[in-house]
Amino acid sequence: MDNKTIDLSLLDGVLDEYASVKGSLITILQHTQDIYGYLPKEAIERISERTGIATSEIMGVGTFYTQFRFEPVGKYLIMLCQGTACHVNSSELILQTIKDELGIDDGQTTEDGLFSLKCVACLGCCSLSPVMMINEDTYGSLTPDKTKKILKELREAAV
Amino acid sequence: MRVVIGQGSCGIAAGAEKVRQALLKENINASIAGCIGMCYLEPIVDIYDEDRLTRLVKVSADDAPAIAEYINTGDRSKIENLVVTDEDSEFLSKQTRIALRNCGIINPEIIEEYIEKDGYTALKKALGMTPEEVIDIIKTSGLAGRGGAGFPTWFKWNAARNSEGEEKYLICNADEGDPGAFMDRAVIESDPHNLIEGMLIGAYAIGAKHAVVYVRAEYPLAIKRLKNALEQAREKGVIGKNIFGSDFSCDFMIKAGAGAFVCGEETALIESLEGHRGMPRLKPPFPAQSGFWRKPSNINNVETFANVAWIINNGGEAFAAMGTEGSKGTKVFAVTGKVKRSGLVEIPMGKTLRDVIFDIGGGMKTDKPFKAVQMGGPSGGCIPADLIDTVIDYKALGATGAIMGSGGMVVMDESTCMVGMAKFFLDFTAKESCGKCIHCRIGTKRMLEMLERITKGEGKEGDIELLEELCYAIKDGALCGLGQTAPNPVLTTIKYFRDEYEAHIKDKKCPAGECSDLIEYSINADKCKGCTLCARNCPVNAITGTVKKPHVIDTNKCIKCGKCYSVCRFDAVVKA
């Protein structure tokens, strides 16, 4: 997406704290993603330098876990729950609605950089199924109309 | 009067914080509690007048003035419609709560509220005993692993205790990955000190100085409340050095998982704790001998630990007095899906599925009849309607082909396709297979491809037999629990719903009307009013007709998205 340079100094604090603590790679990657919104290549190289862990191994760990991303995400990250209760309560319809409304597939970001869509494992709010989380907020008992309304409101709020 | 608003993740999602803010604006000092488990009635506001409780349900921010009026003047007239019905109250009164005993009652962010409920007295009591005596009480109680496997807790504790080595670890598995289960989240969000106390007792019993909680990153609120609870416990001297003046010291660490279902398997969890890809290790050696950092380690699930303090305080016999011959105490279930009252249900073992789904859960949400209940998530299976009187017991549930599992119970009605259900779980396990064992990695993928073919109407004669053969091969060839149990959803649906598989394969029909490739939409001309709503909503212009005249769907153009079906106000669109 954008090619702005990555400010690696933001990582110093995290690496000072964890680089020499064994078993901390996942924690370091989580903090890195909190800082940049994803795991930039430059940051992975810096982590490798400071921890002595090969970049190949860092990538191995990073790609194993669904939490980690290697591309920047939009302002709003939509995490649509794929749990059993959501499945039984027609989450497929909600997925279709989001795809139609935003013109993106699972794992993609809208051209204006506002929305990213990610289908995720059970969010544990099964009683409110179907459920999605947008950034830190959870939205439950979704219907196609309700979903459209939420997306519209977020789009308007962002302008 | 004391006003408390339930704020677990689902309560907040349903608007509980908005309600609290609105009450604060009315100058009502509303505090928070965790989740009472009546998820279908959220947001819930509890008003205590001395000991008398008035419970208001499905409250919205607009109700705040009426609630304030009641609190200030005692005038109930405007809140009568919010008061929980007797019928809904039964959802709780029919339960027996041990693991969930404080959930939704105390404020999870204030340690004093836990202490008021006899919190940390069990730890004090345990520290006055020898570790062997503690293990003995747990043995008497019959407590077994609540994460799914049902292994006797005392046995694991004893093995870790008897392992050689100074440095030992006690680990809590809070990587609740089963889709449809959320009791562990509820315990951590609602009563984190109960978990901490149970873990401390376990650490004392096995001789561990380090305790670790491995919790899903998808549970941010649980992590936040647990961190806060640990800080308060540290300040009170409940964790740290020389706890309650004894020789016992124990520190705590929280590690956030990063999204991998396989990390619920204990050796994969340990790999992940060490910062690696979560791939299971060969057993033996078992974690009790060689676990975290190759040191003796004991891993239990959140719900298991949540029972420990109660058992120490009330005695092993009291716990063992509940349940069946082989399954003691209570079990928490997350009841969801097409059930009327969804939420958390804790009942003694030995009750039946009917008790949970119909008596407590209130039966079905719609007028469609009960078809099956899925238990144990991707490792479990579907239990059909005619086995509804199966007793809740590790053995009895195992005999159906499903498992007790961590306690997810997803209720299904006749609109759920069972082949689709099997496909749903195989899609999950194929994605979550760590890739170490060929049978699991490739076998689940091949099974998924076959199920996809079948649900598209491209099934062939012999597919069912081939699926069964693959199932047993994967069960035999996989190293860990994920692979060994991944075929269960397929095996149980074939066992109980073989006719549905055959309908897909031979007749190219989906009896539940869920598989879009096998259904057709049409319009019932007698019911159609010609309102044009369907035609306006059709994304491919497959519907034609003039205003106030019956419309027609061109099945060649139709992409079966179901929009017309969902928008029609006259039930005129037929799915068959």
Q: Are B551 and B545 a contacting pair, CB within 8 Å?
A: yes
- Tell me how far apart the alpha carbons of residues B186 and B167 are, in angstroms, rounded to a whole number: 31
CATH number corresponding to B418-505 = 1.20.1440.230
**Which pLDDT band, with edges at 50, 70 and 90, does B180 fall under?**
confident
Strands A132-134 and A76-81: antiparallel
Average pLDDT for chain B: 95
Task: Answer with the residue of higher pLDDT: B178 or B223.
Answer: B223
User: Parallel, antiparallel, or unpaired for β A76-81 and A115-120?
Assistant: parallel
Has residue A3 got a pLDDT over 60?
Answer: no
Selected from 3.40.630.30, 3.40.50.300, 3.40.30.10, 3.30.750.24, the CATH number assigned to the domain covering B2-93 reads 3.40.30.10
- B370 touching A, CB under 8 A? no
Contacts of A91 (CB under 8 A, 6+ apart): A80, A81, A82, A129, A130, A142
A127 against B23, higher pLDDT: B23
Residues in A touching B182 (Cβ below 8 Å): 122, 124-126
Question: For residues B276 and A64, is the Cβ–Cβ distance under 8 A?
Answer: no
Considering only the beta carbons, identify the residue of B179, B255, B410 that sits closest to A121.
B179
Predicted complex ipTM exceeds 0.85: yes
- In chain B, residues with a C-beta closer than 8 Å to the C-beta of A136 are 220
| d(CA B40, nearest CA chain A) in Å | 6
Average pLDDT over residues A64-79: 94
Q: List, for residues B315-331, the tens digit of each pLDDT value.
A: 999 999 999 999 999 99
Question: What are all long-range contacts of B438-445, with beta carbons under 8 Å and residues at least 24 apart?
Answer: B438/B477, B439/B473, B439/B474, B439/B476, B439/B477, B439/B478, B439/B483, B440/B474, B440/B477, B440/B478, B440/B479, B440/B482, B440/B483, B440/B486, B443/B470, B443/B473, B443/B474, B443/B477, B443/B483, B444/B474, B444/B483, B444/B486
In this predicted structure, the answer to whether residue B197 has a pLDDT above a threshold of 90 is: yes
Residues 243-262 of B with CB under 8 A from A: 255-261
The H or E element that residue B521 is part of is strand B521-523
Residue B31 near residue B107, CB atoms below 8 Å? yes
- DSSP character at residue A6: P
Q: How far is the C-alpha of B261 from the C-alpha of B482, rounded, in Å?
A: 9
Report yes or no: B369 at the A interface, CB cutoff 8 Å: no
- For residue A72, whether the previous peptide bond is cis, meaning omega lies within 30 degrees of 0, is no
pTM, rounded to two decimals: 0.94
The predicted pLDDT at position A1 comes to 46
According to CATH, where is 3.30.70.20 located in chain B? 520-575
User: Does the distance separating the beta carbons of B337 and A84 come in below 8 Å?
Assistant: yes
Alpha helices in B321-393 (DSSP H): 353-354
Cα angle: B51, vertex B313, B115; to 5 degrees: 50
Summarize the confidence of residues A104-110 as an average pLDDT.
Answer: 93
Question: What would the mean pLDDT of B85-107 be, rounded to a whole number?
Answer: 97
- Most A CBs within 10 A among B332, B342, B410, B510, hence the mutation to make, goes to B410
The one-letter code for the residue type at B319 is F
| Chain A residues with CB-CB distance to B256 below 8 A | 26-27, 30
- Please compute, for residue B355, the number of CA atoms within 13 A of its CA located in the half-sphere on the CB side: 16
Strand partners, B346: B332
Q: Could you say which of 3.10.20.600, 3.20.20.120, 3.20.20.70, 1.10.10.10 is the CATH number of the domain covering B330-413?
A: 3.10.20.600
Count each helix (H run) and each strand (E run) in chain B, helices first: 23, 17
Query: What is the distance between the alpha carbons of residues B79 and B65, in angstroms, rounded to a whole number?
Result: 10
Query: What is the mean predicted confidence (pLDDT) over A56-60?
Result: 98
- A4 pLDDT band, cuts 50/70/90, is low
* Cβ pair A140:B14 closer than 8 A: yes
Phi, psi (deg, nearest 5) at residue B34: -80, -145
Asked whether the beta carbons of residue A138 and residue B342 sit closer than 8 angstroms, the reply is no
**Chain B residues within 8 A of A83 when measuring between CB atoms:** 179-180
A127 and B374 within 8 Å at the Cβ level: the answer is: no
pLDDT confidence of residue A123? 84
A38 and B CB contact within 8 Å = no
Mean pLDDT over B112-141 rounds to 98
Residue B313 clears pLDDT 60, i.e. is over it: yes
User: Which two structure tokens, joined as six digits, stand for B419?
Assistant: 């082949």
Q: Between residues 214 and 243 of chain B, which touch chain A (CB distance below 8 Å)?
A: 217-220
Written as six digits, the tokens of B233 are: 């416990």
Strands B330-337 and B343-348, sheet pairing:
antiparallel
Which stretches of chain A are DSSP H helices?
Answer: 12-18, 25-36, 41-51, 55-64, 84-88, 91-102, 144-158
The string of DSSP letters for B197-215 reads HHHHHHHHHHT-SEEEEEE
Q: Which residue of B has its CA nearest to A58?
A: B276
- Residues of CATH 1.20.1440.230 domain(s) within chain B? 418-505
Which residue from B339, B405, B372 is spatially nearest to B494, judged by alpha carbons? B372
| Least confident window among A104-108, B153-157, B560-564 | B560-564
Q: Which of A25, A65, A88 minimises the CB distance to B338?
A: A88
Helix (H) or strand (E) holding A138: strand A137-139
Per-residue confidence (pLDDT) for residue B562, from 0 to 100: 84
Kindly determine whether residue A126 and residue B185, on different chains, have CB atoms separated by under 8 Å: no
| B536 Cβ contact list (under 8 Å, min separation 6) | none
B residues 329-368 lying closer than 8 A (beta carbon) to A: 334, 336-338, 342-343
What sign does the dihedral B343-B348-B353-B357 (CA atoms) show? negative
Q: Please tell me which residue of chain B has the smallest CA distance to A101.
A: B539
Indicate the helix (H) or strand (E) that contains B370.
strand B370-375
| Residue length of chain B | 576
Segments making up each domain of chain A, as ranges: 8-64, 76-158
Angle B508-B510-B513 from CA coordinates, rounded to 5°: 140
Asked whether residue B185 carries a pLDDT value surpassing 50, the answer given is yes
Nearest to A144 among B293, B338, B566 (CB): B566
Q: Give the Cα separation of B221 and B218 in Å (integer).
A: 9
Assign domain A76-158 one CATH number from 3.90.1490.10, 3.40.50.2300, 1.20.58.1610, 3.40.30.10. 3.40.30.10
Provide mean pLDDT across the span A84-105: 91
A70 touches B: beta carbon within 8 Å: no
Superfamily designation of domain B111-320: NADH-ubiquinone oxidoreductase 51kDa subunit (3.40.50.11540)
Nearest CA to B186 out of B96, B92, B40, B302 is that of: B302
Residues 380-439 of B with CB under 8 A from A: 408, 410-412, 416, 421, 424-425, 428, 432, 434
CB pair distance less than 8 Å for B258 and A65: yes
Please state which CATH number belongs to domain B520-575: 3.30.70.20
pLDDT at B514 over 80: yes
CA–CA separation, B42 and B103 (whole Å)? 14
In this structure, the strands spanning A115-120 and A132-134 are unpaired
B219: Cβ–Cβ under 8 A, 6 or more apart, which residues?
A124, B9, B174, B176, B185, B188, B189
- CB contact (8 A) between residue A122 and residue B179: yes
Alpha-carbon span B405 to B398, nearest angstrom: 10
* Whether pLDDT at B177 is above 60: yes
Give the pLDDT band (50/70/90) at residue B360.
Answer: very high
CATH 3.10.20.600 residue window(s) in chain B = 330-413
Nearest to A102 by CA among A54, A128, A134: A134
Distance CA B46, CA B36 (A): 10
- Residue B426, C-beta contacts closer than 8 angstroms, at least 6 positions apart: B444, B447, B448, B451, B486, B489, B490
* CATH class of the region A8-64: mainly alpha
Please, what is the Cα angle at B441 between B437 and B447, to 5 degrees? 130
Write the DSSP symbol of residue B512: T
